[in-house]
């Protein structure tokens, strides 16, 4: 069925209702990253420092522009600790958007009732605070998915393949790209991560 424009500016799907559109991804660069950081009203979480030999492989958003974004995603790619290559997608979004769930391969828009129950599976440092996150059950395909809450929004870590979850055995720190300033010049960039386009 065709997707139509809704009165809110989102796309309207006859099955799912209003759907916030994901904008096209370009090859990341220092210039585009600086522009995203200057425009975004939402955090763009970045593992910092990046794991050894990892690169930034995509930055994007869902919404009509970074200034009006309802979700952001940053992809980075590099060596899997257990061999081969790996990708990590870090998504922050307002409840109900569904971008993290899309990349996790879930049917629902949010991570589910298990998130927030019991002992957290990982606790990355997000903006200087340990942030509990839970493994999301039911994720499709060969991926590890964790979700929690940061700054009143969903935070997702989606790792491909599933074995790349070994990255979380070491301390992980996320910083807001908007706070990096001149350090953006030091970031390594590469081609767009295929996981963003799937």
pLDDT in tens, the chain (198 residues): 223 334 445 454 444 456 678 888 889 999 999 999 999 999 999 999 999 999 999 999 999 888 889 999 999 999 999 999 999 999 999 999 999 999 999 988 899 888 989 999 999 999 999 999 999 987 888 999 999 999 899 999 999 999 999 999 999 999 999 999 899 999 999 999 999 998
CA distance 51 to 57: 13
The stretches of 82-173 forming alpha helices (DSSP H) are 99-104
Q: What is the pLDDT of residue 18?
A: 63
> Is the bond into 166 cis (omega within 30 degrees of 0)?
no
- Is-contact 127 152, C-beta < 8 A? no
Q: Let me know how long the chain is.
A: 198
Query: How far is Cα 14 from Cα 43, in angstroms, rounded to an integer?
Result: 31
- 195 membership: H or E segment, kind and range: helix 194-197
Q: Quick one: tokens of 29? A: 């660069």
Residue 103: strand, helix, or coil: helix
Domain count, the chain: 1
Handedness of CA 178, 183, 188, 190 (dihedral sign): positive
**pLDDT given at position 38:** 93
Q: What is the pLDDT of residue 19?
A: 62
pLDDT value, residue 4: 31
b (16+ CB within 10 A) / e for 112-148? eeebeeeebebbbebeeeebbbbbbeebeeebbbbbb
Helix or strand or coil: residue 73? Answer: strand
| Residue 153, domain extent | 4-197
Beta bridge partners of 129: 126
């Amino acid at each position: 069925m065709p997707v139509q424009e809704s009165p809110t500016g989102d796309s309207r799907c006859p099955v799912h209702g209003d759907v916030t559109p994901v904008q096209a991804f370009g090859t990341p660069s220092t210039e585009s990253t600086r522009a995203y950081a200057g425009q975004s009203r939402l955090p763009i979480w970045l593992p910092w420092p990046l794991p050894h030999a990892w690169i930034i492989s995509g930055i994007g958003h869902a919404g009509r522009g970074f200034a009006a974004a309802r979700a952001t995603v940053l992809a980075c790619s590099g060596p899997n600790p257990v061999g081969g290559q790996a990708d990590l997608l870090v998504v922050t979004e307002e409840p109900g958007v569904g971008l993290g769930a899309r990349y996790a391969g879930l049917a629902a828009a949010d991570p589910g009732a298990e998130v927030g129950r019991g002992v957290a599976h990982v606790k990355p440092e997000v903006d200087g605070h340990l942030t509990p996150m839970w493994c999301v059950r039911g994720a499709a395909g060969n991926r590890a998915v964790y979700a929690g809450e940061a700054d009143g929004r969903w935070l997702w870590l989606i790792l491909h393949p599933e074995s790349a979850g070994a990255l979380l055995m070491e301390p992980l720190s996320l910083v807001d790209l908007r706070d990096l300033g001149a350090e953006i010049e030091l970031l390594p960039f590469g081609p767009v991560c295929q996981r963003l386009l799937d």
